[in-house]
């Protein structure tokens, strides 16, 4: 789990989000996790459990994901070389827990893909997350490249903050909560150009291409 499951360091009204973007030769893959605290989880239950019988069946889960996934995709803006690009939904999952809790907590995970240019040129990718704007959140964007592809001159980092998130969920807030909503990066087949800035970790150390 990229986010510590069902722990919400910023209070019971937060909706935490993490986007893991992986750039390959012909495709970008995005793993998108939305973890709701108690209040938004209860609000979502009115749609997740439409007959209000207190049970969420497999059919209700599937129907909810079918409705909610396109909404989340619609809140993501992807551009390649300045032109709008489209994410396709490849997988979706929902986890709801009430074990040892008074109130339920909801987590949604989507796997999305988008086609990339099939050439050896350098390209620009821009990603913006418009979902739940204005809502308190711990929001991260993490970027990676697959073998044969390089990512460079990136505004996003190549590693996440899982340890800090877990510590904050236990009451030890060691850093300011991130609110990462946009990423801008260049990518190409092969190695990083000599005059470019390689993808780096949050401590500033360059990350070697796979």
Q: Which one is predicted more confidently, 187 or 96?
A: 187
Distance between CA atoms of residues 125 and 172, nearest Å: 35
* In contact, 24 and 116? CB cutoff 8 Å: yes
Tokens linked to 146? 């697959």
Tokens linked to 178? 């991130």
**Any idea which residue has 């236990």 for tokens?**
170
Query: What DSSP designation does 179 have?
Result: B
Q: Which one is predicted more confidently, 133 or 174?
A: 133
Indicate whether 46 pLDDT > 80: yes
Indicate whether 81 pLDDT > 90: yes
Three-class DSSP category at 4: coil
Q: Model-level pTM?
A: 0.91
Q: What percentage of residues in the chain have a pLDDT greater than 90? A: 69
- The residues spanned by each domain of the chain are 15-189
Q: Residues 197, 179, 17, 172: is their CA dihedral positive or negative? A: positive
């Amino acid at each position: 789990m990229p986010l510590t499951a069902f722990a919400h360091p910023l209070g019971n009204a937060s909706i935490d989000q993490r986007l893991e973007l992986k750039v390959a030769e012909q495709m970008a893959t995005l793993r998108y996790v939305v973890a709701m605290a108690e209040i938004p989880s209860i609000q979502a239950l009115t749609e997740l459990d439409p007959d209000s019988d207190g049970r969420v069946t497999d059919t209700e889960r599937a129907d909810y994901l079918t409705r909610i996934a396109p909404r989340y995709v619609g809140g993501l803006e992807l551009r390649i070389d300045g032109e709008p690009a489209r994410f396709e939904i490849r997988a979706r999952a929902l986890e709801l827990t009430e074990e040892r809790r008074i109130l339920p907590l909801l987590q949604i995970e989507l796997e999305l893909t988008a086609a990339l240019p099939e050439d050896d040129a350098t390209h620009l990718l821009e990603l913006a997350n418009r979902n739940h704007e204005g809502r308190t959140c711990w929001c991260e964007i993490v970027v990676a490249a697959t073998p044969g592809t390089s990512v460079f001159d990136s505004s996003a980092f190549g590693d996440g903050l899982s340890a800090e998130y877990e510590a904050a969920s236990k009451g030890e807030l060691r850093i300011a909560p991130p609110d990462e909503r946009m990423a801008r990066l260049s990518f190409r087949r092969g190695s990083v150009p000599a005059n470019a800035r390689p993808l780096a970790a949050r401590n500033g150390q360059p990350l070697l291409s796979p």
